Amino acid sequence: MKEKEYRMASAARGALLFMRGVPNVALGDRVVVRDHQGRKRNGQVIRTSQDVVLVQVFEGTDDLDLQRTWVRFLEQPFELPLSPDILGRIFNGVGEARDDRPPIVSRLTRNVNGSAVNPASRSYPREFIQTGISTIDGLNSLVRGQKLPIFSGSGLPHNRLAAQIVRQAKLPGEEADFAIVFAAMGVSYADARFFEEEFESSGVLSNVVMFVNLADDPPMERLILPRTALTAAEYLAFDLDRHVLVVITDMTHYAEALREVATAKGDVPARKGYPGYLYSDLAEIYERAGRIHDRHGSITMMPVLSMPSDDITHPIPDLTGYITEGQIVLGRDLHNQGVYPPVHVPPSLSRLMKDGVGKDYTREDHPRVASQLYAGYTRALEARNLASIIGAEELSERDRRYLSFADAFEKRFVGQGEDEDRSIIETLDNAWDLLSILPPEALSRVTEADLAKYHKWETGSPD
């Protein structure tokens, strides 16, 4: 059947092609569709029976003349050829070269869907990665093997932040040795170019594999692109023992493509038109991050997504947050005040921080300092809120101290230069400078010993 082409497309709707009378077609198989001009499109079987086979066409079915459309079933799933030569290359969503260089030839190919890692063979991620960014390292630390997304919004500097992390990420005391898998979906040419230049200028290009689908490329290809990219990442991590940092941007475009196909298929929507299986579908992607017993490599994932209307309860950030191990949330207010990186601290979280910081990895006081900064900043935001109602002059002395703490925290801790690579010790010392604005009896999250060692309390007016 491999050589056989069928011309039995009975209907086309959106990205879906319905085939009649093709027997024994396996679910998930790869399909090549040839249109009347001989142009090829890639497809995949997403539903199959003896009567009807449903094919999802990544390039869409626009302009297909069903009478003159030929479909070939390849009798194999989508696979990606893998070799060390993928480093330094640029591919599209289905793994075809888009850098005018020859295709990867290799006997090793893998199904891009992967298969679930056995929870019993995972090992718990706990090695602290220093990104040089205080709000991440100090408050929401990233560890090797973690999936930590950036929740952003249109116009916010998530790309610059992601690029800075890629530039600076290292284990303290070790040379940067990350291989980078960069997956771009529906991004503008300018954004893709920005990353390419970033990689080039920081000299890591030969350690990067890029999978790119631009804003004007076929949207359905975004459904397979992250899977292809992660197949490459798994190969680098678990076959070649590399520590891999995967940056995926923008997951919102992925989810929108999924919704489009789901609607065309008539799937029952759950929220905002997104299908009920969006959670499981996203999990298949995000859960490919991690560490595995007895393997040297690891996959650390940093997906970027823009929250539609800055709404964190929108299904895309919401379901992502339910799957990933925390999130770094960017805030528009801070951005408008010129703070870079505008990390909105209260909703940001790293769930794997607990085992990756402290005495063995960073510094003994780290977990308590982080908790205290959170508590202090929350209280400070309340004071600021109050000041906006009654005026700062009316605040108690304690509240005025909190007010100056909030300002200093945003300027000196959250804010930092795009080229500023702070060590974790600098970050923590900086934190204690700020906590010293507050009186010791207000600091219940740190110990007496911490206070004695690090707190530089001077009574007197806050300003």
Partner 1 sequence: MGEIIEINGPIVTVQLPAVRNGEQVRIGAIGLLGEVIGLDGERAVVQVYESTESVKPGETAEALGHPLSVELGPGLLGQIFDGVQRPLPVIMEQSGDHIARGLAVPALDRARSWPFEPRGDLSAGDAISGGAVLGEVQETATIRQRILVPPGIKGELVEHAPAGEYTVDQVIARVRDTQGHIHKLRLYHRWPVRRARPYRARVHAADSLLTGQRILDTFFPLLKGGKAAVPGPFGAGKTVVQQQIARWSNADIVLYVGCGERGNELVDILETFPQLTDPYTGRSLMERTLLVANTSNMPVVAREASIYVGVTMAEYFRDQGYDVVMVADSTSRWAEALREVAGRLGQMPVEEGYPAYLASRLAAFYERAGRVETLAGEQGSVTLIGAVSPPGGDFSEPVTSHTKEIVRTFWALSKELADARHYPAVGWDESFSGYVDIAARWWAEQIDPSWAERRTQALNLLAHADELGRIVNLVGPEALSQEQRWVLEGAALVKEGVLQQSALDPVDSYCSPEKQFALLDLVLKVYEQGRELLRLGVPVEQISRLPVMGSVRRAKSAYPSDRVDELKAVDREVREAFDPIRMEYSAAEEKTA
Ligand X SMILES: Nc1ncnc2c1ncn2[C@@H]1O[C@H](COP(=O)(O)OP(=O)(O)OP(=O)(O)O)[C@@H](O)[C@H]1O
Q: Which parts of this chain interact with ligand X (CB under 6 A)? A: 321-322, 349, 351, 354
Bridge partners, residue 292, by sequence: 122
Rule CB under 8 A: is residue 18 a binding residue for partner 1? no
The distance of Cα 46 from the centroid of its chain, to the nearest Å, equals 26
| Backbone phi and psi for residue 34, each to the nearest 5 degrees, phi listed first | -115, 125
Q: Which of 310, 318, 407, 421 binds partner 1 (CB under 8 A)?
A: 318
| 269 interface partner picked from ligand X, partner 1, none, CB below 5 to 8 A per type | partner 1
Cα separation, 88 vs 236, in Å, equals 13
For partner 1, which stretch binds (CB under 8 A), given 95-103, 162-170, 252-260, 271-279?
271-279
Q: Which of 10, 154, 280, 423 binds partner 1 (CB under 8 A)?
A: 280
Q: Which residue, 351 or 363, is less far from ligand X as judged by CB?
A: 351
Q: Smallest distance, Å, CB 433 to partner 1? A: 20
Q: Smallest distance, Å, CB 29 to partner 1? A: 7
Rule CB under 8 A: is residue 365 a binding residue for partner 1? no
Nearest to 166 by CA among 128, 126, 208: 208
Rule CB under 8 A: is residue 269 a binding residue for partner 1? yes
Cα separation, 197 vs 167, in Å, equals 12
Cβ contacts of residue 271 below 8 Å, gap of 6+? 315
H/E run at residue 234: helix 225-234
For partner 1, which stretch binds (CB under 8 A), given 64-72, 391-399, 401-409, 424-432?
391-399
Q: Which residue, 46 or 408, is less far from partner 1 as judged by CB?
A: 46
Number of residues interacting with partner 1: please give it, by CB under 8 A.
85
| 84 interface partner picked from ligand X, partner 1, none, CB below 5 to 8 A per type | none
Rule CB under 8 A: is residue 264 a binding residue for partner 1? no
Q: Smallest distance, Å, CB 232 to partner 1? A: 16
DSSP letter for each residue of 259-316: HHHHHHHTPPEEETTEETTHHHHHHHHHTT-BEETT-S-EEEEEEEEEPGGG-TTSHH
Cα separation, 115 vs 121, in Å, equals 13
Rule CB under 8 A: is residue 47 a binding residue for partner 1? yes
Rule CB under 8 A: is residue 84 a binding residue for partner 1? no
Q: Which residue, 396 or 423, is less far from partner 1 as judged by CB?
A: 396
Nearest to 144 by CA among 362, 424, 356, 422: 356
H/E run at residue 389: helix 366-390
| 337 interface partner picked from partner 1, ligand X, none, CB below 5 to 8 A per type | none
Cβ contacts of residue 24 below 8 Å, gap of 6+? 50
Q: Which of 385, 417, 452, 463 binds partner 1 (CB under 8 A)?
A: 385
Q: Which residue, 196 or 318, is less far from ligand X as judged by CB?
A: 318
| 105 interface partner picked from ligand X, partner 1, none, CB below 5 to 8 A per type | none
Cβ contacts of residue 200 below 8 Å, gap of 6+? none
Q: Smallest distance, Å, CB 323 to partner 1? A: 6
Q: Smallest distance, Å, CB 142 to partner 1? A: 14
**Torsion region of 207: left, alpha or beta (phi above 0 gives left; psi -120 to 50 gives alpha):** alpha
Which residues, 336 to 355, sit near partner 1 by CB under 8 A? 346-347, 349, 351-352, 354
Instruction: State the chain's maximal CA–CA distance in angstroms.
Output: 86
| 439 interface partner picked from partner 1, ligand X, none, CB below 5 to 8 A per type | partner 1
Cα separation, 3 vs 323, in Å, equals 42
Q: Which of 129, 292, 302, 431 binds partner 1 (CB under 8 A)?
A: 292
| 459 interface partner picked from partner 1, ligand X, none, CB below 5 to 8 A per type | none
Cα separation, 70 vs 67, in Å, equals 9
Q: Which of 106, 154, 337, 447 binds partner 1 (CB under 8 A)?
A: 447
Q: Which of 132, 297, 315, 342 binds partner 1 (CB under 8 A)?
A: 315
DSSP letter for each residue of 413-460: II---TT----HHHHHHHHHHHHTTS-GGG--SS-HHHHHHH-----S
Q: Smallest distance, Å, CB 398 to partner 1? A: 7
Rule CB under 8 A: is residue 116 a binding residue for partner 1? yes
